[in-house]
Homo-oligomer: A and B are copies of this chain.
């Protein structure tokens, strides 16, 4: 499959950024490709379009499936798997945040809890103890809040965001009572 100029630039850029986003180039390219594609694509088609090894596509798709960013669909009369991603930016965003939370935050939270439980903690200065505790609390509050925000209806969330900083007046009014 030949890519149009715009699609090609989009896919290549997404690939470049992939590294910064914590996934490799191929994974990001495949996701970009599926995102712009009208139909679900087979691994073979992806391989041809991107010009990478078949096995690379296979592994990358597995990673995208693990992130739940891509799912398998089937086409009548075709035994091959076809792959598809959501076209809904919000949905994608949620999945990405969720994934990153699992990989980038959860392990740290566990370690911090562990440290706060450990008997050696008593040997530390008050400052250190406080700092670890504050870090742990901060992470808890942030993850809890982000969970709640992502559970809201997109429209509601949109309203909240549109409100922006003016939220502060609302909050002040609300908590004053």
Residues on A lying within 8 angstroms of B by beta carbon are: 4-7, 9-10, 13-14, 17, 20-22, 35-36, 38, 87, 89-90, 93, 103-104, 107-108, 111, 115, 118, 120-121, 123-125, 127-128, 131-132, 134-135, 138, 141-142, 144-145, 148-149, 151-153, 156, 158-161, 163-165, 167-168, 170-172, 174-175
Complex Cα gap A108–B172 (Å): 36
Copies of this chain held together in the complex:
2
Q: How far is it, in angstroms, between the C-alpha of A121 and the C-alpha of B8 when the chains are bound?
A: 12
CB-CB under 8 A from A163, the residues of chain B are 171, 174
Residues of B near A124 (CB, < 8 A) are 4, 6-7
Instruction: Give the shortest distance, in Å, between A19 (CB) and chain B (any CB).
Output: 9
Q: A17-B104, A171-B159 are in contact. Are A6 and B141 (CB under 8 A)?
A: no
Q: How far is the CA of A155 from the CA of B72 in the complex (A)?
A: 45
A–B Cβ pairs within 8 angstroms, 9 of them: A5-B118, A6-B132, A10-B115, A13-B107, A153-B168, A156-B172, A160-B171, A163-B174, A170-B174
CA distance A174 to B20 in the complex (A): 39
Contact residues in B for A151 (Cβ distance below 8 Å) = 165
Is the beta-carbon distance between A170 and B170 smaller than 8 angstroms?
yes
Residues of B within 8 A of A93 (CB): 138, 142
**Interface on chain A toward B: helix, strand, loop, or mixed SS?**
helix
Instruction: Tell me which residues across on chain B come within 8 A of A175, comparing CB atoms.
Output: 159
Residues of chain B within 8 A (CB-CB) of A123 are 4-6
A120–B6 contact, CB under 8 A? Answer: yes
| Contact of A89 with B135 at beta-carbon distance under 8 Å, contacts A38-B125, A128-B7, A174-B163 already known | yes
Contacts of A168 in B (CB 8 A): 152-153, 156, 160
